[in-house]
């Protein structure tokens, strides 16, 4: 496979994500050697004048180690308790090492709601920008002590991609326990080869990402592929690489051929549409007929009532929904102009009939094309 020249040295804003396996031993105890090595590399980037954000996993795993539990907890309260203990320990370790290298770190705990609520989304972005302006390295983690749904998701790969998109980063580095994306599982197939560059995440690429993560973590290659997809649509270069390499971050930034690079899509989504696609809560589904599916996909038109066949979920005007084609595939997401009950009443109708059916008409479109995202 042809490799592509890498020129990341000029990138100013970089997000680095580390998984549990990159900061903890299999016992759950902190891996001080790996953490110190990571912090040294980040401090060196900082000294070069770059803006650095660290997204770290490991709070639950560290709490497991501190509490002496035999493995990762199964219940939500146990996970939250482990996170409450582990987060403070983990941040203390980061602060200690960053201080030794003359760098100030600041803790930022986020949940999915901080991205799905537009006001909180903007507040989170302003906070991170302010920290960078003050010369602080934000250390970001999910707020696992209170976020039930986020613990069920169980990975920070998506979080790191959302953070990279949020702050307009140029480079996202996902550090893990293997060298990158392989043609097969290298732990099972000795002939597996490392894929150097990915221009498009196809079905074949998704099929290569199989299996769970480490004993203490819950992520795997699949979550990293999905994170790369978000970053690619946000115009961010993503690199998956092995964290244990002593100078892996320096190698990546200097353009060495290490890891797997996911290159940004040609058509970068605008900020609002990125938020619709990847950050907003999906509150329901609108099913469309074949004609509407083709018009949406091929012509980029708005979704009209006449193309709607079915509505699922209970949602209000302004909520985000999935658009489903006749084959049951999600073809897009959009912000609706009417509630689920209203759309159910006007489905299949012409726009001129909306007033007769509802007694009023605020919009011709169920979802306007400016609030619609396709090709997720």
Examine residue 182 and state whether it is found in any structural domain, yes or no.
yes
Range of the domain at 340: 281-374
Phi and psi at 164, nearest 5°, equal: -60, -45
Q: Are residues 265 and 300 in the same domain?
A: no
Count the domains in the chain.
Answer: 2
The DSSP annotation for 26-95 comes to TTSSB-HHHHHHHHHHHHHHHHTT-EEEEEE--HHHHHHHHHT-SSS--SHHHHHHHHHHHHHHHHHHHH
Place of tokens 């200690």: 96
Report the CATH number that the domain containing residue 339 is assigned in CATH. 2.30.130.10
Residue 361 lies in a domain: yes
pTM of the model: 0.82
- Which of 40, 367, 79 has the alpha carbon at shortest distance from 218? 79
Q: Which helix (H) or strand (E) holds 248?
A: helix 248-253
Would 1 be classed as within a structural domain?
no
The tens digit of pLDDT for each residue in 288-330 reads 999 999 999 888 899 999 999 999 999 999 999 999 999 999 9
In degrees to the nearest 10, what's the CA dihedral of 57, 59, 63, 69?
A: -40
Looking at residue 149, its pLDDT comes to: 55
Q: Are residues 216 and 100 in the same domain?
A: yes
Torsion, CA 257, CA 260, CA 261, CA 267, rounded to 10: 150
Same domain, 207 and 317: no
CA–CA dist 163, 37 (Å, integer) = 23
pLDDT value at position 145? 67
3-state secondary structure of 136: strand
CA distances from 250 to 60, 220, 253 (A): 29, 24, 5
Q: What is the DSSP letter of 182?
A: B
C-alpha–C-alpha distance, residues 262 and 260, integer Å: 7
In a domain, 88, yes or no: yes
Task: State which residues of the chain have pLDDT below 70.
Answer: 1-3, 144-154, 210-219, 376
Does some domain include residue 360?
yes
- List the structure tokens of 333: 């997401």
> Do both 45 and 107 map to the same domain?
yes
Nearest to 88, CA basis, from 66, 103, 72: 66
Return the half-sphere exposure (C-beta side, CA atoms, 13 A cut-off) of residue 221.
Answer: 23
Pair 201, 335 in one domain:
no
124 and 251 assigned to the same domain: yes
Evaluate whether residue 5 is within a structural domain.
Answer: no
Round to whole Å and give the CA distance between 67 and 139: 23
In angstroms, what CA-CA distances link 147 with 121, 222, 370? 16, 22, 32
Q: Are residues 39 and 121 in the same domain?
A: yes
193 in the same domain as 98: yes
Taking each helix axis from N to C end, the angle separating 32-47 and 76-100, rounded to the nearest 10 degrees, works out to 50
In the prediction, which pLDDT does 128 show? 96
Residue 123 shares a structural domain with residue 239: yes
Q: What is the pLDDT of residue 280?
A: 83
């Amino acid at each position: 496979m042809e490799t592509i020249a890498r020129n990341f040295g000029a990138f100013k804003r970089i997000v680095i994500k580390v998984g549990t396996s990159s900061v903890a031993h299999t016992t759950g105890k902190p891996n001080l050697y790996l953490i110190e090595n990571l912090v040294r590399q980040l401090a060196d980037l900082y000294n070069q004048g770059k803006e650095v954000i660290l997204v770290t996993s490991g709070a639950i795993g560290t709490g497991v180690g501190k509490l002496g539990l035999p493995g990762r907890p199964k219940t939500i309260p146990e996970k939250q308790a482990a996170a409450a203990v582990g987060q403070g320990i983990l941040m203390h370790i980061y602060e200690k090492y960053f201080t030794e290298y003359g760098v100030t770190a600041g803790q930022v705990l986020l949940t999915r709601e901080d991205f799905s609520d537009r006001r909180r989304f903007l507040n989170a972005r302003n906070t991170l920008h302010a920290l960078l302006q003050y010369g602080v390295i934000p250390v970001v983690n999910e707020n696992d002590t209170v976020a039930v749904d986020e613990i069920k998701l169980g990975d920070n790969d998506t979080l790191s991609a959302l953070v990279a998109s949020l702050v307009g980063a140029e480079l996202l580095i996902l550090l893990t326990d293997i060298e990158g994306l392989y043609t097969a599982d290298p732990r099972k197939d000795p002939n597996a080869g490392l894929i150097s560059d990915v221009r498009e995440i196809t079905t074949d690429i998704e099929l290569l990402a199989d299996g769970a993560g480490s004993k203490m973590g819950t992520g795997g290659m699949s979550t990293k592929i999905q994170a790369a997809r978000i970053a690619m649509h946000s115009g961010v270069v993503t690199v998956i690489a092995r964290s244990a390499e002593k100078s892996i971050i320096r190698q990546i930034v200097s353009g060495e051929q290490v890891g797997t690079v996911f290159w940004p899509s040609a058509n970068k989504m605008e900020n609002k549409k990125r938020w619709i696609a990847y950050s907003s809560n999906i509150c329901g589904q609108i099913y469309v007929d074949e004609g509407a599916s083709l018009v949406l996909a091929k012509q980029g038109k708005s979704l009209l009532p006449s193309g709607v066949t079915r509505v699922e979920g209970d949602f209000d005007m302004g909520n985000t929904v999935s658009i489903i084609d006749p084959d049951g595939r999600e073809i897009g997401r959009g912000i609706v102009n009417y509630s689920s009950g209203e759309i159910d009443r006007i489905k299949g109708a012409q726009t001129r009939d909306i007033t007769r059916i509802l007694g009023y008409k605020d919009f011709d479109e169920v979802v306007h094309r400016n609030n619609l995202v396709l090709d997720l």
